[in-house]
A and B are shown apart, each in its own frame.
Chain A
Amino acid sequence: MKNDYFYIPQIEKRNAKAKRFHILVSSAIITTMAFLFFFLFTIIKEGIPAFKQSYIQVDIEITQELVENPYAINATLDKDIAKFISRSWTRSLPSQIEKNPDWIGKTVSLSALTNADVDQYLKGNNHKLSQDQQQKLDKMYEDGIIEFKFNKIFFTTGDSKIPENAGFFSAMVGSVLTMLVTMLIAVPIGLMTAIYLEEFAPDNKFTQFIEININNLAAIPSILFGLLGLAIFINFFGVPRSTPFVGGLTLALMSLPIIIVSAKAALKTVPESIRQAGIGLGLTKWQITRDHVFPLALPGMLTGSIIALAQALGETAPLIIVGMIAFVPDASTSIFNAATVMPAQIYTWSGMPEGMYIEKTSAAIMLLLGVLLSLNAIAIYLRKKFQPKW
């Protein structure tokens, strides 16, 4: 070694240093992965049971009386079985009979939704059933009178105070409506602002001031946009509270700076030579921007917009203030009807005392994560597919 011409005495020390640094940074990623894995594992473990729901087979004699007072079936059924059936199912009997008028006067075998206690007992969670009822349930489960089915309710109904009847559908509809408003307002305004600032605006103190402010706005805590939304849209313009319209406007305010900043960055990546070539050919600024710069920057602009919208989709804080965190069981039919959004629904369920909401919370988180992941995947795909190479 000593005779080696290239031998440098410090080399071992330097190599050791490099190795330590390598271990340090890789341990950082391992820690992150561990956190992520732990988070996903608990969510999935708790959420999976929510996708199945127990149903009980009951024979019911349908009479005209049931249409007026569905709770009368409790008297005709076995006392324990009546206790196993969900109140929300009994409540919906009249509308079921209305749909099938030929049932009246017959005894029909129906698959009834069980209540949360039964469902939780069969899933091995906390319940309030007596020893007797538990034995009875075990027997019925063995005999196939009670069975698990795919939980359709979760995807077709809205929030409910009856845990087994609670679903995520209204929240999904609310999110879609809110995001529509946000998208229709924030994306065009954001892109146009970016184009103006990057392509047309003169570079002077005033535009610099505006740009600094936009950059700052992108870093502002989202709750402040909620307060702004409350002050401007609700108190000043009188937009109705709790609606996707006001929620969408507020989230649009929040996403605007992010869209502008990312769109400006996308425009900056278009080489100056393209613009100069256009000028050389005698094109107007409008023609250069419309036909050359804008199409080239579009993939980057879209990626930025999608990521901003994905962030808005997962936002709750500003929506608390404009009243979108509310109990809204009906799916909203227009942007002017009260609605709630997916993260808001998760927040509400997480605070409920009944155990069944815990699994519904996790299942809802899984759905929300799924939507966010696919939005990000679309953004990455667009970037990879359409990004021009220079």
Chain B
Amino acid sequence: MLSTKTLLLPFISVAAIASSANANDQIKIVGSSTVYPFTSYVAEEFGATTGNKTPVVESTGTGGGMKLFCAGVGSNTPDFTNASRPMKVAEFEICQENGVKNIVGMKVGYDGVAIAQNKDNEALDLTLEQLFLALAQEVPSKDGKSLVANPYKKWSDIDNTLPNREIKMIGAPSTSGTRDSFDEMVMEHASKSFPVYNGEPYKKIRTDGVYIPGGENDNLIVQKLAQDKDAMGYFGYSFLEENRDKIKGVTLNGVEPNAKNISSGEYPIARSIFIYMKKDHMGKTKGLEEFIKLYSSEAMTGENGVLKTIGLIPMPSDEHKLTQETIKSLAVITPEMVKAGLTNPAK
């Protein structure tokens, strides 16, 4: 019969090969799919111009990235994680528990969620409340005292100044960061203006077929909008920018979705995006500091930086200066900063 030794042999050899293979000359990055294109661009630039190996960038979603990032320190854990929202307090605590003590955070810039429709449609202007009434599972009744299942089928049912057009919204599935942003910045925000919700954030989206989850591939939503004139869709701003031949943006509270309005904060659905670095990995993985400095440089994330050309909405120059100072001093984030959702230490 086979001895235990022979049976274990393949496993031992796998483990032996694996442990010898953990070369640490390549930066590993995980996290948000929204930040992924920007980080990849910087990674490519880093590999092409500095002679270091090009970092590996994986798109795992913000939450998934935080989980991997906070799993511990060491060569098998990522050096950076991308996030389309600030790190949560709970995530910060998990990081601390697992020995990821020193984290440097950097704001990359802004990203807007654009609502778009077919190019041939008439221009449309909506308020966040109208959007909310169109998409919420339950809406205030006529007298505003109780909640009823959403009866609205047409935009004109909500407000007779809106066009007589079917409500049909193609959006991101519930796993997506874009959906998180939409829920938070449209649904939860608008629900506060209806007293019947008692100030509780309401983000349940109707499931009677009016809202169509479109899958993670935003190009498919664009294609559907190009075919279906009734439909509207929402996605990251860069998809509107790239497809202006097929679709156009819906203005919100009269504000057009464009780069200027998003970075100034005038456009209501915009969010900050971040990248977090494990300071504990400095000196262990090659090129960490160089990479984050390149990321924060004027040429990349500056007001006229190259990331602007692929859809990033850069920070105003004074905020960018502040971010650069943080990166220069490699100041780690503190519990207070996490609570406030900041990455730059207060002055």
A329 adjacent to B14 (CB under 8 Å):
no
Interface band, chain A: 35 or more
A242 CB within 8 Å of chain B: yes
Contact A327 B57 (CB under 8 A): yes
The CA-CA distance from A354 to B244 in the complex, in Å, is: 11
Does B23 contact A336, Cβ atoms closer than 8 Å?
Answer: yes
Q: Chain B residues with Cβ under 8 A from A234's Cβ?
A: 76
Q: Once the chains bind, are A161 and B76 in contact (CB under 8 Å)? A: no
Known: A161-B310, A241-B28, A330-B47. A351 touches B58 (CB 8 A): no
B44 sits at the interface (CB 8 A) = yes
A86 to chain B minimum Cβ distance, whole angstroms, is 12
Q: Which residues of B contact A354 (CB under 8 A)?
A: 242, 310
Instruction: Tell me how far the C-beta of A193 lies from the nearest C-beta in chain B, rounded to whole angstroms.
Output: 13
Interface residue from A91, A326, A358 paired with B48 (Cβ < 8 Å): A91
Size category of the B interface is 35 or more
Report whether B59 and A355 are in contact in the complex, using a CB–CB cutoff of 8 Å.
no
**What are the interface flags for B39-50 relative to A under an 8 Å C-beta threshold, 1 for contact and 0 otherwise?**
111011101110
CA distance A137 to B93 in the complex (A): 56
Instruction: Pick the residue among B21, B54, B238 that contacts A243 (CB under 8 A).
Output: B21
Contact among B54, B216, B218 with A353 in the assembled complex (CB-CB below 8 Å): B218
Q: Is the CB of B76 within 8 A of A126?
A: no
A325 touching B28, Cβ below 8 Å: no
Binary contact track A318-353/B, C-beta < 8 Å → 1, others 0: 000001011111100000111000000000001111
CB–CB A325/B242 < 8 A: no
CB distance from A202 to the nearest CB of B (A): 14
Give the nearest-CB partner of B48 in chain A. Answer: A91
| A158 to chain B: closest residue by CB | B54
Are A87 and B239 in touch, CB under 8 angstroms? no
With A338-B26, A353-B239, A354-B242 known to touch, is A91 a contact of B56 (CB < 8 Å)? no
Least Cβ–Cβ distance between A124 and chain B, in angstroms: 12
A-B contact pairs, 18 of them (CB 8 A): A161-B40, A162-B41, A162-B44, A233-B14, A237-B14, A238-B76, A240-B22, A240-B75, A325-B59, A327-B39, A327-B44, A327-B59, A330-B47, A337-B23, A338-B56, A350-B217, A352-B37, A354-B242
- Measured CA separation A239–B23 after assembly (Å): 11
**Is A92 part of the binding interface, using a Cβ–Cβ cutoff of 8 Å?**
yes
B contact patch SS: helix
Which residues of A have CB within 8 Å of B18?
A: 233, 237-240, 245
- Taking a contact as CB atoms under 8 Å apart, the answer to whether A326 and B56 are in contact is yes
Pick the contact of B57: A91, A160, A326, A351 (CB < 8 A): A326
A interface residue numbers (CB < 8 A to B):
87-88, 91-92, 126, 128, 159-162, 233-234, 237-243, 245, 249, 323, 325-330, 336-338, 350-355, 358
> Which residue of the partner chain, among B21, B26, B41, B218, contacts A161 with CB atoms under 8 Å?
B41
- Distance to closest chain B CB from A368 (angstroms): 18
Secondary structure type dominating chain A contacts:
loop
Scoring B26, B57, B58 by chain A CB atoms within 10 A of each residue's CB, the highest score goes to B58
Determine if B219 and A350 form an interchain contact, defined as CB atoms under 8 angstroms apart.
Answer: yes
The complex places the Cα of A353 from the Cα of B41 at a distance, in Å, of: 14
Residue of A nearest to B30 (CB): A323
Query: Out of B11, B217, B242, which one reaches A351, CB within 8 Å?
Result: B217
CA distance A310 to B58 in the complex (A): 25
Interface string of B159-193 (1 = CB under 8 A from A): 00000000000000000000000000000000000
Bound: A98/B241 CA distance, A: 38
Nearest-Cβ distance from residue B195 to partner chain A, whole angstroms: 40
Chain B residue at minimal CB-CB distance from A340: B56
Q: What CA separation (Å) do A329 and B53 show in the bound complex?
A: 10
Bound CA–CA A7/B258 (angstroms)? 82
A161-B37, A239-B14, A354-B242 known; A327-B43 Cβ under 8 A:
yes
Are the CB atoms of A240 and B76 closer together than 8 Å?
Answer: yes
A238-B18, A326-B58 known; A351 vs B44 contact (CB < 8 Å): no
> Do B242 and A355 touch across chains, with their CB atoms under 8 A apart?
yes
Contact assessment for A241 and B26 in the assembled complex, using a CB-CB cutoff below 8 Å? no
Whether, in the assembled complex, B306 has its beta carbon less than 8 Å from a beta carbon of chain A, the answer is: yes
Which of A160, A241, A330, A351 has the most C-beta atoms of chain B within 10 angstroms of its own C-beta? A351
Besides A336-B21, A350-B219, 20 other A-B contacts (C-beta < 8 A):
A92-B48, A126-B244, A238-B18, A238-B22, A238-B76, A239-B14, A240-B18, A242-B28, A242-B56, A242-B58, A245-B18, A327-B59, A329-B54, A330-B54, A336-B23, A338-B56, A351-B218, A351-B219, A353-B218, A353-B238
Q: Which A residues are CB-close (under 8 A) to B15? A: 237-238
**Which residues of chain A are near B11, meaning CB under 8 Å?**
237
Q: Which one of A87, A160, A238, A249 contacts B306 once the chains associate, using CB atoms below 8 Å? A: A87
Tell me which of A128, A159, A328 has the highest count of chain B C-beta atoms within 10 A of its own C-beta: A328
Q: Are A353 and B242 in contact (CB under 8 A)?
A: yes
CA distance A351 to B59 in the complex (A): 12
- Measured between C-beta atoms, what is the minimum distance from B243 to chain A in Å? 7
Does A326 contact B21, Cβ atoms closer than 8 Å? no
From residue 4 to 63 of chain B, which have CB atoms closer than 8 A to chain A? 11, 14-15, 17-19, 21-23, 26, 28, 36-37, 39-41, 43-45, 47-49, 53-54, 56-59
Q: Is the CB of B302 closer than 8 A to any CB of chain A?
A: no
> For the complex, what is the distance from the CA of A161 to the CA of B40, rounded to whole Å?
7
Chain A residues with CB below 8 A from B17, complex form: 245
A128, B244: Cα distance in complex, Å: 9
Tell me the minimal C-beta distance from B240 to chain A in angstroms. Answer: 9
